[in-house]
Structure 1
Amino acid sequence: MKLAIKVSLPTHIPMRYVFSVVSVLFALQMVEGTQMYTSLAYCAFIVVMTDAFNACGGLIYPSGSYIFFAGLLTLIVGGLAKTVLGEPLDSNLLNAQKSILVYLAGACSLWVAAKINVRIRRKKPLLASFQIHDRFMQASLGAALLGQFGAMIIPLAYVTTFNQVNNFLPLSVLLAVYGKTAETGGRRSFTVLAFVVWAWMLLYWGIFAFSKQGMFLPSVAWALGATIAGYWMTGKRLVFVVAFAITSSTFLTPISQIGRNYKDDPNAQEKALDMLSHPLRTREEYKASLADQMRVGANGYHWFNESYGLLDRLTMLPIDDALIHVTDQGHSATIVPIETYVLNMIPRYLVGSKETYHWGNLYAHEIGMLADEDSTTGISFSPFSDAYHCVQWWGVTLISVPIFLMMFLVCDSLTGSTKDTLWASLYILQFSHFAPEGMMNAPFAAMSINVFMIVVAAVLITYILPVLGSLLIPIRRTILPLTSVPVPRPAPVGPRTIEEKL
């Protein structure tokens, strides 16, 4: 008999297991030479973030997904890897104890916001009436067509706004996979339509654009759609998924990192294909560039003693540590960045022209990560270091709490959980990338541009896109032959009554 497990998004992590794990981690870190207060702060961060995650209701809620990815991809994964590798947590950092304490303060802010939010958020989400129960393939095809060609048919004045909300291609993958998985009772998730859109995104949005997000987002959308629909995971499938993830991270990450130098090159696509055609050579070039950064030190902020490829990208602490250290040297940007995040919530066509600030790029200049003439490279920081850089401890405590609370309240009340609506999965897709590295701008974007994006997507997918997709994928209906005549059911056979016996 084939052993299979039905996968689902976690909704609760037992705290007794968490305390057991952090106890083992603390003991190992003490043996490896980590300072006690640094290790205690790391373990406390795990405990607080887990309890906040549980309070929200888990990964099925937008609030829970934000906490999950913000905790996992800022500190938890990196700290766990450091411990397994036998490296002290505070090695290769400017002030590990201070930086992790800033993270812990941010985690406490998330915890307070989560506890309040769960009491006041709507029980019935605002988008509960927008549901799609069938026609998933038609809706998926409509979303793919709109995502690819939508910018060509809308008025030029609204192209920028459309591009900001255009997540229809990953949504197309999610819809097709969800529909097939639900239709087959979790036995299969593969469809030709989902595979074609997935491959198109991987190639043109990812490899040709040298975008790490474009490379991995379609796979995340596939996994999310299958998981929400209740996919049955067998041993062979698990081996395939793990092997695919390792291979992708090994050979796609170098393309995204090296390709940054060719984004403005007129032959960028040819260079991308050349790197894709010679993965081993590209991998060696990537490792050599990382080794150079490790030797230079000024531009290569790192936490591990050696480079481990994608693992270096799964933790924000090294670059956050540099920003926190610069802040303590008197380079605070004050409250101005948060003010600009608030102004960015207002559509440009309502306020006319407004100045655009690339705070990540400016912060990178402050820590000496970019050359003076580089004003285009996008650098990301976590919300914790960004808040601290604005107004120090006030930023990660009193100012962050109402911001996180408003974000949780808006997102959860709009979509509910994935058990309530499919639209909650859109927030999960967004937060998988923006929660750890979207700075303090991510909460404001979640309450404005993302709300607009999700409402538009819900309306279009419920009423319009299935009709558009049905022009190419006919809707199958069971039609009785014209000559068929309904046959009455025979009366049920049972014991005879007393009158019949007499």
Structure 2
Amino acid sequence: MRIPFPERIPIQYVVTFAAVLIVVQQLEGTDLLFSVCAFGFIVLSGVGFNIAGGFSRVSGGYIFFYSTLTAIVAWVAKAALGEAADSNLTVPNLTALVYLGTSFSLALSVLVSKKLTAKKPWLGTMLTEENMEASAVGCAVVGFSICLALTVLPHNSGDSLSALSQLNQWSALAIVIGVIYEIKRSGGKRSVNAIVLMGGVTVFIFVGLLPFTKQGLFLPFFCYLVAAVSMGYRFSSRQVLGWALTIFLMMYYLVPYSQLGRAMRPEEGEYSTETLLTNIHDSWSVLSDPVGTRDAYLIEMASARAKGAVGYFDEDEGLFERLQMLKIDDGLIRISSEGVNPYGFLPFLAEFTNLVPHFLWPDKPDVRFGNLYAHELGMLGRNDFTTGISLSPGSQAFHVWGWLGVFLLEPAIFIFVFWFFDSLCGDTRASPWGLLAIAVFAHLAPEGMLNGALGSVFHVGVGLTIGALFCSYIMPLLGVLMIGPQKNQRLQAALARSRQRALVGGSKPQVL
């Protein structure tokens, strides 16, 4: 089967889906205003996705993951469970109105940015088929080397080695380029090779398991999926079942692993051999007993509910609680409506100070707004300055500037972000750069806040630019040294034969 990589979703399908959902919500006792806002949110999100060009543009990927992972998946789950969509929220109608306003701002932003976007992408198609394998090998080796150095070598938070980690997208690029290369080389018969496995294992272990981060655990799968789907790869039934089982087991066991492991992470500061050994010990102690870890996680969740910590669903639904932002956004929107906003526009100003690395500005203030917002909501102890929360862009915009934040600040930032990434990457099917950006936004769009979207221009955009330049000019040289020039020539000949077969078969090979 082929998973669609749509440029647009027929609007009649979107309207029909939203209408059916609204009827179910009304039958389950949801307030009419909330349901009307949900209907508008879904339709406007579909309109914005179509205007962007769907997954063929980074902006379309951002809108898709924002809309589905903040609310739509949760609303469908609520409907299936027979729960009112506005239950367990303190200001449900206001929250729904903020979400509706954000979907309007996203659609407006992509409409404007599309008129401003460069016709020829800045990164273009610098990566050619002939140097793809060598480039992927170079990315995999460099990514592994940087991750290993960050794990083994002593360093301080904010020094030059730590700053290097902010731009380390090499392993993720190795996955994306490796998948595209293997599909092209095999004529669509295979999608995984040693390069993809090396990049995936590197991210999974060094970015996911050891730091206990869900983003690192799932990023390899997102990178693989967007690359394979963009190439129109046909998955076998066995592959679909295998991937579904893998994702289920990760959700079932590794999400609790990540949640419990956060408390074991050392505070940012000096990283030494002792820190590494402690981290490995803690990781293994939790990972070696997956059943016990899940049981401990369920006990912790039950204890939190007993103390009054209610989620969006009536009972803890595990996965679905993590595929929505409604509950946490509702809390911030509530205190915003009460006039609580001590930080104003500071989060956005801080994104510009973050451009200067700590090793160039040793006394740069380390402000974590996810932590500050958690304190505003009364979720943390007075002395907890490390734990943070995730919020969607809309709730932060409303918190910062009320309705002006939703209808002025959000469009201003989103127009800039969409213009930048669509101009930088162009058609995501023509080069790997946009695919990697979409994989990153699968996590960042729903829970990276509005200042995170702004910061992505610098952190993700600069990383992509450096990655594109190195992948096109430096990594192929390194890759040829690793695989040998003779094998590289044979692989280029195989690619040429694959292109010839595609032309004989009457299909036009994709440009890359």
TM-score clears 0.5: yes
Aligned identity (percent) is 33
Deviation, 1:79, is 1.1
8 A contact 2:171–2:199 mirrored in 1: yes
C-alpha distance 95-461 of structure 1, shift in aligned 2 (>3 A): same
Alignment of 1:15-94 (within 5 A): 15-94=11-90
Equivalent residue in structure 1 for 2:489, among 477, 485, 493: 477
1:276 aligns with 2:287: yes
Does the 8 A contact of 1:125 with 1:420 survive in 2? no
SS of the counterpart of 1:131? coil
* 1:130 alignment partner AA: M
Task: Confirm whether residue 13 of structure 1 aligns to residue 25 of structure 2.
Answer: no
Aligned residue number for residue 499 of structure 1:
none
Paired residue for 1:485? none
Bigger mean CA offset, 146-155 vs 275-284: 146-155
Q: Distance in 1 between matches of 2:369 and 2:240?
A: 40
Whichever of the two has the greater Rg, that structure is 1
Alignment partner of 1:207 is 2:217: no
**Partner of residue 492, structure 1:** none
Quote the offset at 1:353 in angstroms: 4.8
> What is the SS of the residue equivalent to 2:488?
coil
Q: Which moved more, 1:148-157 or 1:177-186?
A: 148-157
Greater helix share, structure number: 2
2:432 counterpart SS class: coil
Q: Does 1:311 align with 2:317?
A: no
Per mean C-alpha deviation after superposition, the further-off stretch among 450-459 and 352-361 is 352-361
Counterpart of 2:181, as a letter, is G
Task: Say which SS state the counterpart of residue 127 (structure 1) adopts.
Answer: coil
- Match for residue 390 of structure 2? 380
Q: Distance in 2 between matches of 1:417 and 1:319?
A: 34
Deviations 1:37-86 (A, max 9, x none): 11111111010111001000001211111111111111111111111111
For the residues of structure 1 that align with 2:412 and 2:352, how far apart are their CA atoms?
13
Distance across 1 between alignment mates of 2:116 and 2:140 = 36
Q: For residue 476 of structure 1, what is the amino acid of its counterpart?
A: N
Instruction: Please tell me the root mean square deviation across aligned C-alpha atoms, in Å.
Output: 2.2
Contact 2:444–2:453, Cα closer than 8 Å, also in 1: no
Q: Please tell me the residue identity of whatever aligns with 2:325.
A: M
After superposition, what is the alpha-carbon deviation per residue over 1:431-469, rounded to whole angstroms, capped at 9, x for unaligned? 111111111122222322322111110011011112112
What letter is aligned with 1:282? Answer: T
Q: How does 1:419-430 map to 2 (within 5 A)?
A: 419-430=429-440
Task: Please point out which of 205, 221, 224 is paired with 2:223.
Answer: 221
Contact 1:360 1:379 in 2 (8 A): yes
Contact between 1:69 and 1:432, CA under 8 Å: does it hold in 2? yes
What pairs with 1:307-346 in structure 2 (closer than 5 Å)?
A: 307-332=316-341, 333-345=343-355
- Give ranges in structure 2 of 5+ residues lacking alignment: 267-274, 492-512
Q: Distance in 1 between matches of 2:17 and 2:128?
A: 41
- Structure 1 residue 143: deviation in Å? 1.0
Residues 6 and 90 (structure 1 numbering): CA distance in 2 closer, same or farther, change over 3 Å?
closer
Kept in 2: contact 1:411–1:446 (CA 8 A): no
Contact 2:176–2:436 (8 Å) recurs in 1: no
| Structure 1 stretch displaced more, 324-333 or 380-389 | 324-333
| 1:116-154 superposed Cα distances (whole Å, 9 cap, x missing partner) | 112221111011152231343322221122223248599
User: Is the 1:336–1:390 contact (alpha carbons within 8 Å) kept by the matching residues of 2?
Assistant: no
Whether the 8 Å contact between 1:417 and 1:424 is mirrored in structure 2 is yes
User: What's the secondary structure of 1:236's corresponding residue?
Assistant: helix
How far is the alpha carbon of 1:352 from its aligned partner?
7.5
1:147 aligns with 2:163: no
Contact 1:32-1:87 within 8 A present in 2 as well: yes
TM-score normalized by the length of structure 1: 0.89
| Matched position secondary structure for 2:235 | strand
Would you say the 8 A contact 2:417–2:457 is kept in 1?
A: yes
User: Does the CA-based 8 Å contact 1:134-1:179 persist in structure 2?
Assistant: no
